[in-house]
Chain A
Amino acid sequence: MNSFKNNNDEKWLDDLLGKSIGSEKVEPDFEKWRQNHPQAVEMLISRANRQYSASICPISIWRTIMKSSITKLAAAAVIIIAVTFATIVLNKSVPTASAAQQILTDAIKAVSDIHSVYIKAKMRTLPQDNFAYIGLALDFVPLKMWKRIDENGLLKWRIEKPLRVVAMDGKEATLLIRQTYASRGRCPNFECYDVDWCGRLMNVENLLDSELQKAKQRPDSELCLRHENINGKDKLVLEIETLAQGDYTNDYIKNKFIFTSDNMRVYHFDAETKLLEGFEIYVHSGDKDVLVFETTDIQYNPEINDNLFTLELPKDIVWNIEPQVLPDNEKYAQMGPKETAQAFFKACAEENWDEFLKYWSMSKADERIKRYLGGLEIISLGEPFKSGRYPGWLVPYEVKLKYGEIKKHNLAVRNDNPAKRYIIDGGI
């Protein structure tokens, strides 16, 4: 019989396919695979180890007394997390962490009557430098933060340290440094001027939840949520270990900013209201943990004068401007990081301030910078390198300033701007 006349009769084709492409049975050998892929296995197992460290903490939550609906919700959430983690470790069974996190998120959303917050803190930093800049050996500098959401839902905030302040008036953020340099721009979600970590801190309504979510998304985070009873009051303490992001083959930038440090962030919450009562950042350096940030006072719903959210700028302010495409832009866009550093210092040496501004994203060269850099001598320039997740390059340099000081540092240059030419971004 010719089987093509009957498509339903497929047995002959089954036999033929089985003979033609059939194979000896494939035998999985997990042990062999495991031996051949130690790194992948290590990554998998390390997740269990991380969860073990988290599981130690929440056990005491069992002692939490149900005093209010919020406490009940939060306690339930934490108990679920505790049981989940304990179950994984002890019984090698299966977690339902996502359910626990959802309950916790719901509990935190219940705290929604905060319309303003004022935080006072101290930080090991320089008074004029970047808001995320830290120095483990530096003295503490006072830092203040205000945030307010008005009845129309308009968000305004201000963050300041002695020589640097940024204020957001509901539309734009204005940065003022040393009463001399200013910058202005939109700043959604605190994503400007390296203040996003401050923004997260002031977002008390869902700080706990956002940190938990963030930790969940980052495999290098390790979190511990535990319960404390201090003077008869229930407290929640959230500790999050975070590793610096990026490649630190050259670790120049390591521990110079909060986000380039391996650190532990410690949040102290009131267990009943979920409001933040204290916050610290400890940077891990060698075998030491250095406290680099600590809140000293947190006030909720204070009256904040509207004037605080606008800055009065001095006359003759020097504005930070985005690099524009120059008539001869190609010439500058073709320069690499080292050539840019060379040309920049040459302009300083020759006090050619027009040329200087090709590499300096300010509206003008002010007298202070002219006095400082004018007439310098270039001693040496090193090879550019990268560090961490900094998008630009760092160029080692040694110059002799006009007044005799030898300055040895790394010039930060970056070209992620519309003109695509390297601009000096720091290291002066």
Chain B
Amino acid sequence: METKPEALIVEAAQNGHLASFAVLYERYYGCMVALAYSVLGDRGLAEDAAQETFATACRNLPNLKSKDKFAAWLAGICRNITKQMQRSENRFVVLNDDAPAKGERDNHGDLIRRAVWKLRAVHREPIVLRYYNGLSYEQISATLGISQQAVHGRLTRAKRKIAKYLKRNGFTGGEL
């Protein structure tokens, strides 16, 4: 099948072409789950948020002006929905050292997750997008609406912060 530029697929979806919307859903569902997970820290809730994100997008698609920024627009919807879910469930996911992550598997994992969720959103989002579901730089770039170079920069800075946090908490790479 011929690959169409995404803006064309978006415009077709805006005009009610359901199959085009399905293409966008398949393409970005994983990104939205990862993005929601970066806030909610729970797979089930993140999937709920992603599904609601697409429902909202479906209803509001005609309002999207920049068709080449669909993923970033979608991410904005996803952030709003996850914030609402967080407020409604009064969830605070691993934001302090006393709150363990859900589904913790081991002490290292717990410490790592704490380090990640202590990051500001600007750094936490690319980290979770990259490692939660193995998204490519291209996918992260589209979702966050930034260049691939900026993605690389944010990931590098985020990892340095994580490394520092681990070091402060007595963890070294040699313990692996």
A36 CB–B CB distance under 8 Å: yes
Known: A10-B159, A13-B173. A21 touches B113 (CB 8 A): yes
B43 CB–A CB distance under 8 Å: yes
Residues of B within 8 A of A1 (CB): 173-174
Majority secondary structure of chain B interface residues (helix, strand, loop or mixed):
helix
Residues of B within 8 A of A315 (CB): none
B163 CB–A CB distance under 8 Å: yes
A20 CB–B CB distance under 8 Å: yes
Name the distance in Å between A183's Cβ and chain B's nearest Cβ: 38
- The docked-state distance in angstroms from the alpha carbon of A33 to that of B51 is 7
A19 CB–B CB distance under 8 Å: yes
Within 8 A of A (CB), among B123-176: 127-128, 130-134, 156, 159-160, 162-163, 166-167, 172-174, 176
- The docked-state distance in angstroms from the alpha carbon of A90 to that of B116 is 50
Residues of B within 8 A of A21 (CB): 112-113, 116, 127-128, 131-132
Name the distance in Å between B175's Cβ and chain A's nearest Cβ: 10
Name the distance in Å between A17's Cβ and chain B's nearest Cβ: 4
B100 CB–A CB distance under 8 Å: no
B13-21, B70-78, B80-88: which lies at the A interface? Answer: B13-21
Residues of A within 8 A of B33 (CB): 26
- The docked-state distance in angstroms from the alpha carbon of A298 to that of B111 is 79
Query: In the complex, are the beta carbons of A23 and B14 less than 8 A apart?
Result: no
A40 CB–B CB distance under 8 Å: yes
Residues of A within 8 A of B19 (CB): 92
Instruction: Determine the residue in chain A with the shortest Cβ distance to B34.
Output: A26
Q: Which of B16, B58, B128, B130 contacts A37 (CB 8 A)?
A: B58
Name the distance in Å between B2's Cβ and chain A's nearest Cβ: 11
Name the distance in Å between A219's Cβ and chain B's nearest Cβ: 6
- The docked-state distance in angstroms from the alpha carbon of A1 to that of B174 is 6
Query: In the complex, are the beta carbons of B173 and A88 less than 8 A apart?
Result: no
How many A residues touch the partner, as a band? 35 or more
Name the distance in Å between B173's Cβ and chain A's nearest Cβ: 3
Residues of B within 8 A of A14 (CB): 131
Residues of B within 8 A of A50 (CB): 16
- The docked-state distance in angstroms from the alpha carbon of A414 to that of B34 is 49
Name the distance in Å between A16's Cβ and chain B's nearest Cβ: 6
Query: In the complex, are the beta carbons of A43 and B58 less than 8 A apart?
Result: yes
Within 8 A of A (CB), among B1-34: 4, 8-9, 11-19, 21-22, 25-26, 29-30, 33-34
Q: Which of A13, A23, A43, A49 contacts B163 (CB 8 A)?
A: A13
Q: Which of B54, B105, B163, B166 contacts A7 (CB 8 A)?
A: B163
Query: In the complex, are the beta carbons of A43 and B112 less than 8 A apart?
Result: no
Name the distance in Å between B8's Cβ and chain A's nearest Cβ: 4
Residues of B within 8 A of A44 (CB): 13, 16, 18, 21, 58-59, 61
Query: In the complex, are the beta carbons of B25 and A4 less than 8 A apart?
Result: no
Query: In the complex, are the beta carbons of A37 and B51 less than 8 A apart?
Result: yes
- The docked-state distance in angstroms from the alpha carbon of A182 to that of B175 is 88
A138 CB–B CB distance under 8 Å: no
Residues of B within 8 A of A30 (CB): 22, 25-26
Instruction: Determine the residue in chain A with the shortest Cβ distance to B135.
Output: A26
- The docked-state distance in angstroms from the alpha carbon of A276 to that of B62 is 30
Residues of A within 8 A of B18 (CB): 34, 41, 44-45, 48
Name the distance in Å between B86's Cβ and chain A's nearest Cβ: 18
- The docked-state distance in angstroms from the alpha carbon of A40 to that of B8 is 21
- Over the window 121-134 of chain A, the binary record of Cβ atoms lying under 8 Å from chain B Cβ atoms (1 yes, 0 no) is 00000000000000
Q: Which of A17, A26, A34 contacts B133 (CB 8 A)?
A: A26
Residue of B4, B12, B56, B113 contacting most chain A CB atoms (<10 Å)? B12
Name the distance in Å between B157's Cβ and chain A's nearest Cβ: 11
Residue of B12, B43, B131 contacting most chain A CB atoms (<10 Å)? B131
Residues of A within 8 A of B116 (CB): 17, 20-21
Query: In the complex, are the beta carbons of A47 and B159 less than 8 A apart?
Result: no
Instruction: Determine the residue in chain A with the shortest Cβ distance to B173.
Output: A3
A417 CB–B CB distance under 8 Å: no
Name the distance in Å between B66's Cβ and chain A's nearest Cβ: 12
Q: Which of A3, A17, A28 contacts B127 (CB 8 A)?
A: A17
Q: Which of A10, A26, A46 contacts B16 (CB 8 A)?
A: A46
Residues of A within 8 A of B130 (CB): 17
Additional pairs, 15, CB under 8 Å, beyond known A30-B22, A43-B58: A1-B174, A4-B172, A17-B130, A19-B109, A20-B112, A22-B133, A23-B43, A25-B133, A26-B30, A26-B33, A34-B18, A40-B55, A44-B13, A51-B16, A92-B12
Interface positions of B (Cβ within 8 A of A): 4, 8-9, 11-19, 21-22, 25-26, 29-30, 33-34, 37, 43, 47, 51, 54-56, 58-59, 61-62, 105, 108-109, 112-113, 116, 127-128, 130-134, 156, 159-160, 162-163, 166-167, 172-174, 176
A selection of 25 A-B contacts at a CB cut-off of 8 Å is A4-B163, A4-B166, A10-B156, A12-B176, A16-B108, A19-B109, A20-B112, A20-B116, A21-B131, A23-B133, A25-B134, A26-B29, A26-B33, A28-B25, A33-B55, A37-B54, A40-B54, A40-B55, A44-B18, A44-B59, A47-B14, A47-B15, A48-B15, A49-B16, A88-B17
